[in-house]
Structure 1
């Protein structure tokens, strides 16, 4: 698989934000035995984390948009860690946490916003296993946090 060349859309690459700095004592990415573990990220816009509960203050479409912002930031951290996104063999798994009120049940649809970024970037190699769960709160009341595991050459 080392000869795999992804046709990552230039528009997607151009939309990547600068890699976000960690907000606590952890690494943004860690490569171990051909896997890159990407730390969970929040949606950020204009330098500010986006807060609020999805399904309460925030509608589902805005929640999906915020998950997409996280996907773009994860790709940015991945590119910074690898130097070249062509090293990606496949996306293994995403874990998504949605800040939502009790009774909200559409967590998978929200996290789809992030999944779509990886599929857009890597095609079939971007399809992944996934967890999408609702939580009562997230750090700083952020609306969504997503982490990823990616296999690399």
Structure 2
């Protein structure tokens, strides 16, 4: 089990890197702390350069494969963690992941949005160990900002 107090080094050990945080484009904040809870707004599957790759634009069930959706969800989670680090100063304050929410840009007859969202779920457990086990909601939607194939939001317990 991974200690919650070495998450930054665990991320590097696994070969991941947190991107620079994206700036909010609307009348909302990217995160909010309330008591011992950190809420992170939905994050898109942008790369380290802050841009959404053409490979992750479109709908699952037609242009985007489940495999690509899985990879896109992992990018979303890295954005979530980058926002968490911005909010807290260090990921070492994360105690546990309580909930992930996934929004999957999907064709109306695509019935496996959870397969893509597993990318974010698998990654948070890989990074946090048992503290990463969470509740989750995943829904298929008609569209997402910038045509992204997936968006992920999170709720964490913090110290």
Which of residues 77, 93, 117 is equivalent to 1:87? 93
Residues 52-75 of structure 1: CA deviation (Å, up to 9, x unaligned): 111111111011100100001101
TM-score, normalised with respect to structure 2: 0.88
**For structure 1, which segment, 119-128 or 11-20, has the greater mean C-alpha deviation from structure 2 after superposition?**
11-20
CA pair 105-119 structure 1, distance change in 2 beyond 3 A: same
**How far apart in 1 are the matches of 2:148 and 2:155?**
21
In the other structure, the counterpart of 1:22 is 24
Residues 78-129 of structure 1: CA deviation (Å, up to 9, x unaligned): 0111111111111000110100001111111100111122112211001100
**How far apart in 2 are the matches of 1:71 and 1:14?**
11
In the other structure, the counterpart of 1:5 is 5
**How far apart in 1 are the matches of 2:27 and 2:108?**
31
Alpha-carbon offset, residue 139 of structure 1: 2.1
TM-score, normalised with respect to structure 1: 0.91
Taking the TM superposition and a 5 Å limit, the aligned residue runs for 1:4-153 are: 5-6=5-6, 8-12=10-14, 15-45=17-47, 46-49=49-52, 50-153=56-159
Contact 1:6 1:122 in 2 (8 A): no
Contact 1:6 1:121 in 2 (8 A): no
Alpha-carbon offset, residue 4 of structure 1: 5.4
CA pair 58-83 structure 1, distance change in 2 beyond 3 A: same
Where structure 1 has 5 or more consecutive residues not aligned to the other structure, the ranges are: none
> How many residues matched?
151
Where structure 2 has 5 or more consecutive residues not aligned to the other structure, the ranges are: none
